[in-house]
């Protein structure tokens, strides 16, 4: 599976993972696309917008409460665990589009959440932020200032937190190996991260059962799932280092 890079393993000191919904789907968390993206006959991609929130904040919060319940019950899979284990052999940074916190649960110590976190909420007007690990009642919840609270996530059409994005670009630009796992690379600007790595002559590996828009730019394409592939990569590091 990883034979093409086996002789390069000792050269990979800085590894960056770019992860997406595919790796979380293997833990039972639905994706936005396909049949998984339907909730009570609503298109999830249309619910994850600021316009949908202001049009019907109670509906959007009901959806996020259900997502929170699902995510809180989910456990890291062997793909998440393998990424955390790689920290024994190299400097590993995870740049994730997922909001579920499963990378942190698996033990990864350097995780940049590009699209925020479902456990965090913030005021739609003031600077109030909080982390809540229980179900949110009295929907939509209100801030002390009287305005509506919202999930502290990046919705379609919103900008990424600039400090997080700047750090992500910096890590991508300096890595020796970038592994793109479980993401279709259609969401901007996260889909530009492999370009920064390529400019640094990093080796690019794509792990995805399906082709993506950037498959042709990869040094190695693995058409299997993250849970199946990544433990084998860890074994390779164990044997070589």
Which residue ranges make up each domain of the chain?
1-28+76-115+160-241, 30-73+119-153
Distance of alpha carbon 122 from alpha carbon 76, whole angstroms:
26
Query: In this predicted structure, what is the pLDDT of residue 30?
Result: 86
Which helix H or strand E contains 122, and what residues bound it? Answer: strand 116-123
Q: Given the residues 68, 115, 150, 198, select the one marked as catalytic.
A: 115
Q: Is 67 annotated as a binding residue?
A: yes
Regions of the chain short of the pLDDT cut 50: none
Q: Which residues, in sequence order, are CB contacts of 21 under 8 Å at separation 6+?
A: 29, 31, 32, 33, 97, 98, 182, 183
Task: For domain 1-28+76-115+160-241, give the CATH number.
Answer: 3.40.50.1220
From 95, 85, 98, select the one nearest 27 (Cα to Cα).
98
Note the pLDDT of residue 37.
Answer: 76
Is 184 annotated to bind a ligand? Reply is: yes
Is 115 among the residues known to form the active site? yes
Binding site annotation covers 97? yes
Contact 188, 195 (CB under 8 A): no
Quote the CA–CA distance of 28 and 8 in Å, as a whole number.
34
223: annotated binding-site residue?
Answer: no
User: Which H helix or E strand runs over 86?
Assistant: none
Write down the pTM of the prediction. Answer: 0.94
| 1-28+76-115+160-241 shares its CATH topology with 30-73+119-153 | no
42 is in an annotated binding site: no
- CB of 117 within 8 A of CB of 153? yes
Sign of CA dihedral 164, 172, 117, 54: positive
Looking at residue 57, what is its pLDDT?
97
Q: Which CATH superfamily is domain 30-73+119-153 in?
A: SIR2/SIRT2 'Small Domain' (3.30.1600.10)
């Amino acid at each position: 599976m990883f034979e093409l890079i086996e002789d390069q393993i000792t050269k990979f000191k800085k590894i960056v993972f770019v992860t997406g919904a595919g790796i979380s789907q293997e833990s039972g968390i639905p994706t936005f696309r396909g049949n998984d993206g339907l909730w009570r006959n609503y298109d999830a991609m249309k619910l994850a917008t600021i316009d949908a929130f202001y049009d019907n904040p109670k509906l959007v919060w009901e959806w996020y409460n259900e997502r929170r319940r699902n995510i809180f019950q989910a456990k890291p899979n062997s793909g998440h665990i393998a990424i955390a284990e790689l920290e024994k052999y190299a400097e590993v940074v995870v740049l994730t589009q997922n909001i579920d916190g499963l990378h942190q649960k698996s033990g990864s110590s350097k995780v940049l959440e590009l699209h925020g976190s479902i456990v965090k909420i913030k005021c739609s007007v003031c600077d109030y932020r909080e982390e809540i690990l229980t179900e949110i009642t009295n929907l939509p919840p209100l801030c002390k200032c009287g305005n509506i609270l919202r999930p502290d996530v990046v919705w379609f059409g919103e900008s990424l937190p600039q400090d997080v994005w700047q750090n992500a670009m910096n890590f991508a630009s300096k890595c020796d190996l970038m592994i793109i796992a479980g993401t279709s690379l259609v969401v901007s600007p996260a889909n530009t991260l492999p370009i920064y790595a390529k400019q640094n002559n990093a080796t690019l590996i794509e792990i995805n059962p399906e082709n993506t828009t950037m498959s042709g730019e990869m040094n190695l394409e693995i058409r299997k799932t993250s849970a199946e592939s990544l433990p084998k990569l860890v074994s390779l590091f164990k044997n070589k280092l």
